[in-house]
Amino acid sequence: MENELPDTAEGMERKETAHAVPTGWLILFFGLIAWGAWYLYAYSPWSSGWTQEGQLAAAPVEVGSNIFMTVLFTALPTAAAIGLWLLQRPAKKG
């Protein structure tokens, strides 16, 4: 039996994936957890009293700024993720 598995965990570990998680991905991971905790606190009626109905009633008639903020809060995390991906790519040898 030539394809028999080794008996130890170290022997079964894949060598090409046995490295640490890049720092940028750790920052993104914990940053998203912190942002989620803040978002839950800031926009939950049980913690801050915020409601969507109250926000809409207090909003001006113009919705252009709301659309801008929606695009901004979508584009910023996307740009951060793309930037991290570009920074983590291995350099081309040539």
Tens place of pLDDT for every residue, the chain, 94 residues? 567 766 777 777 766 666 788 899 999 999 999 999 999 988 888 888 878 778 777 777 666 667 777 888 888 999 999 999 998 888 777 6
How many CA atoms lie within 13 Å of 58's alpha carbon, on the beta-carbon side? 6
Q: Which two tokens stand for residue 30?
A: 């914990």
How many residues appear in the chain?
94
DSSP letter (8 states) at residue 15:
G
Report the distance separating Cα 30 and Cα 35, nearest Å: 9
Q: Where are the alpha helices (DSSP H) in 13-63?
A: 23-42, 45-48, 52-58
